[in-house]
Amino acid sequence: MRTSLALLLLVVIAHAEDPPAEQQARLAPTKWKFKNVRFNFPLADGAKAVEKPPVRKGRVEKLYCYFFDLDGNGKFGEIGKDAWALGGMNYILPMEATAVLELHRVKWEVAPDGKQVRYTTTPIPIAKEEAKVFRQFNYWRLINGLCPVDIDPELSTACNELCTWMEANGMKHRAEQGDPPMSSRAATAGMRSMLSQESPAMSVLMLYSSFYHRLPLFNPGTRAIGIGKSARFTAVDGLSRNEARPWNYPIMVPAPSTALQPTNFPPESPRPYPSSVKQPGMPITLTFDGMGTVTEAKGTLRRRVRRKKTIEIPVLVSSPSQPANKKRPDNRKSICLIPRKPLAPKALYEVWVAYKLDGEQKQHRWIFSTGHARPVWHYAGR
């Protein structure tokens, strides 16, 4: 009997260590339902996207995925030259060897003829409360044309230690004089994490709706995050796992033609607007990430009330050459339009931003729309 149990245990252990089995899904020709193929990344080796690239559709982990022969050369799945998208999203993403779908890591390879995709999946180990944060985080990335991120278990452990410490000592990024010491992991997380005292999913919305806290989290180079949660606090480390990927700058949030955007700007510390602005609206950011020197920034925001009628919304323009907060002289390499009052729910807005980049005149025009009005916020600090 003991021998049988020992053999059974060995079989279970061996099975647990087996690599995930390869699966495959058939892909069928289909049409992309949006008029324009929108993407925010450059193609490798000077390749150019065709106006109407061939598209294949199939189900991976019960999700509809679309694969694009973006450069139209007759081959699907080329890294750096092709793209993929999730159903329901209006931006396509750069084709890479791995991706994150919901709560799974996916390693995949699309057949050059586009008839099938071979893939293996690994579940992402994550607690229920952390999963709420993770899903919301990747939702906001996807609708803005940014690749979904992974979870780093070591970063999450550090964030959880930080949250546990804060339960006894209050929300702080570092131990102050008289406080019990933090563990080394918690101290590192404290210096690299965005903190909030909202519910898990609401905390991500709050960070997304802010200015300074949005930028490091919603960056194309963010590959993985750590999430910590306690009874009162949430910590998200989006700085530690950053690896640049080719991207077209500036990064615009809200991205052009996106919907369901928040309406309010949460209280943020440090505050990126003067005390005269009492209840600001959702900020609009253009981040340049070291592209050059940005000067003479200006912009307007208009709400469309009828098909051909708009109302101008007063905005504060904060930029690297004229930051609203003098303690942030580089303005986080961003131009930020801060509406002086909350945006209207379920409304369409038109944005115009002009500036000089290394002396060369640039401008952008785009639209986005808001969702429901948001509740009263608490605090976001870093």
Q: Residue 258 and residue 249: Cα distance in Å, rounded?
A: 18
Structure tokens at 17: 């260590």
CA-CA-CA-CA torsion sign (182, 185, 190, 191): positive
Structure tokens at 373: 């009005």
Provide the whole-model pTM.
Answer: 0.88
Q: Which positions ≥6 away from 153 have C-beta within 8 Å?
A: 125
Q: What proportion of the chain, given as a percentage, has pLDDT over 70?
A: 92
Q: Residue 137 and residue 122: Cα distance in Å, rounded?
A: 20
The span from the first CA to the last CA of the chain, in angstroms, equals 59
Q: For residues 374 and 311, which has the higher predicted lDDT (pLDDT)?
A: 311
Pinpoint the alpha helices (H) of 120-152: 128-143
Q: Residue 290 and residue 245: Cα distance in Å, rounded?
A: 14
Q: Which positions ≥6 away from 307 have C-beta within 8 Å?
A: none
pLDDT at 216 exceeding the cut of 90: no
Return the HEC string of 223-256. Answer: EEEEEEECCCCEEEEEEEEECCCCCCCCEEECCC
Q: What is the pLDDT of residues 272-320, one digit of tens each?
A: 988 888 899 999 999 998 788 999 999 999 999 987 899 999 999 999 9
Q: Residue 56 and residue 114: Cα distance in Å, rounded?
A: 6
How high is the pLDDT of residue 9? 42
CB atoms under 10 Å from CB of 120, counted, come to 16
- Alpha-carbon torsion, ordered 336, 337, 341, 344, to 10 deg: -110
Pinpoint the alpha helices (H) of 1-127: 2-17
pLDDT band at 119 (very low <50, low <70, confident <90, very high): very high
